[in-house]
Amino acid sequence: MNFRQIIQDYFTFSRNERKGIVVLLIVIFLLAVANKVIFYFEKPAKIDVVLLDSAKRELGLVIDSINQPVSEKTLFYFNPNTIDSVALDSLSIPELIKLNLLKFRSKGGKFYTNADFRKIYGVTDQLFKQISPFLLLENESTSQKVKISTPDYFLFDPNKATDDEFLRLGLSDKQIATIRKYLDKGGVFRSKEDFFKIRVISTNQKSQLADWIVFEGLQKVMPEKDIVLKTTTIDINSADSIQLKQLPGIGSVLSKRIVKYRDLLGGFYLISQLKEVYGLSDQTISLFKGKVTVDVSKIKKLDVNFADLNELSRHPYLKKDLASKIVKFRTKHGSFRDLTILRDSMILNIDEYNRIRPYF
């Protein structure tokens, strides 16, 4: 078979075949044109603003968890199985770690050893090395469990405090046994420096306990402090940490926590809100009753019609779930003319509405 014969066999088409080829070419051309033109008629999908803001916030938390340094000065002993969200806010660890810890616990997770904390997403080796010494856990594998709780600070005399009171302050059984041994031998703590000579007490615990130690006659050493408090009152919405330290039972740690929580709230409208500050007990608040005032005109308010999800969720009374509901409702129904709609539409229950109302 010669070359000419091959050409005739494979490239010679009948009339019907030629028609089919023409139709096929036309279909291909139309499909190619349609592929270009269809984009001009396609409507862009609506962007879920709430979802986008949430994604941005998650990304920001991841970046913060990488770049945010941890200060041992604002770390304290805590049990990751029992610490609440308020106490967790006082810890100087990245927000991403706090959120993942709460998510882990909400799904039934539990920490049995310090190494388990390393498994929390976002915890790096360096971060774990800094936090690990402050983890207090119950070891369920041993028959003798150590009683551990989140520190609850209050005024105490180390010469008279009971073992239970030392436990409330975050001291371990070993530390208490050392203190008790010293006292049983006739030792007496006459000053804070004497108490801090106990070697088993860590540097961090010393800084946390320093503002809560009292001895008989200690108040007589500082008469000027009492005179100031008798003649003046302190506005907790404008006082700085130095002024707040004038109050009985308020030291450098608590004064900074009060200012930090006040900034998160936007200001206090009731003195009873001080109970929400971690470490500030009813007993301590009663010490300066009548010596503090609340200027509600200094409260920084949120614009519920323009504040985004991140801004709303940062408020302690809203958090992310309630803030998300408000943003979705506003996106669907438009601006709020009357905030009672948040209550009437069941976005906020009555207690939630009453708590947040002064900030809108």
pLDDT confidence of residue 97: 84
Please tell us whether the domain made up of 222-298 is placed in CATH 3.40.50.360.
Answer: no
Average pLDDT per consecutive 10 residues, the chain (360 residues; last block may be shorter):
66 78 89 78 62 62 52 65 78 82 86 84 83 71 41 80 82 85 84 82 81 63 40 82 85 88 88 86 80 87 82 82 83 78 77 82
Q: Say what the pLDDT of residue 231 is.
A: 44
Angle, helices 49-67 vs 319-333, to 10°: value is 150
List residues bridging with 235 in a β-sheet: 293
- Single-letter amino acid, residue 274: L
**pLDDT at residue 26, rounded to an integer:** 92
Report whether 150 contacts 78 (CB < 8 A). yes
Phi, psi of 235 (to 5 degrees): -85, 115
Q: Provide the sign of the torsion angle of the four alpha carbons 113, 115, 118, 124, taken in this order.
A: positive
Beta pairing, strands 292-293 & 234-235: parallel
Average per-residue pLDDT for the chain: 76
pLDDT of residue 217: 46
pLDDT of res. 19: 84
Ranges of each domain in the chain: 3-41, 54-134, 163-212, 222-298, 309-359
Global model pTM greater than 0.85: no
The answer to whether the Cα torsion of 117, 123, 124, 129 is positive or negative is negative
**Is the Cβ–Cβ distance between 77 and 151 less than 8 Å?**
yes
pLDDT confidence of residue 17 = 80
pLDDT (0 to 100) of residue 67: 52
Phi, psi of 78 (to 5 degrees): -150, 155
Q: Is 244 left (phi over 0), alpha (psi -120 to 50) or beta?
A: alpha
Distance CA 24, CA 113 (A): 71
